[in-house]
Amino acid sequence: MEIFNKSIAAEVASKLLEIEAIRLQPEKPFTWASGWKSPIYCDNRLSLSYPAIRKLIKEHLYSIIQERFPSAESIAGVATAGIPQGALIADALDLPFLYVRSKPKGHGMENMIEGKVTPGQKVVVVEDLVSTGGSSLKAVQDLRNSGFEVLGMVAIFTYGFEVAKENFAAAKVPLICLSDYSSMLPQALANDYINDETLASLVEWRKDPTIWQPRP
**Which residues make up each annotated binding site for 5-phospho-alpha-D-ribose 1-diphosphate?**
101, 105, 107, 127-135
Residue-wise burial string across 136-165, b where 16 or more C-beta atoms lie within 10 A, e elsewhere: bbbbbebbeebebebbbbbbbbbbbbeebe
Binding region for orotate: 131
Contact (CB, 8 A) for 83 and 44: no
Contact (CB, 8 A) for 78 and 99: yes
Strand pairing of 122-130 and 149-158? parallel
Binding region: 101, 105, 107, 127-135
Beta-ladder partners of 122? 149
Compute the distance between CA of residue 34 and CA of residue 15 in angstroms, rounded to an integer: 27
Sign of CA dihedral 39, 45, 50, 53: positive
DSSP-assigned letter for residue 1:
-
Strand pairing of 97-100 and 37-38? unpaired
Please, how many CA atoms are within 13 Å of residue 49, restricted to the half-sphere of its CB? Answer: 9
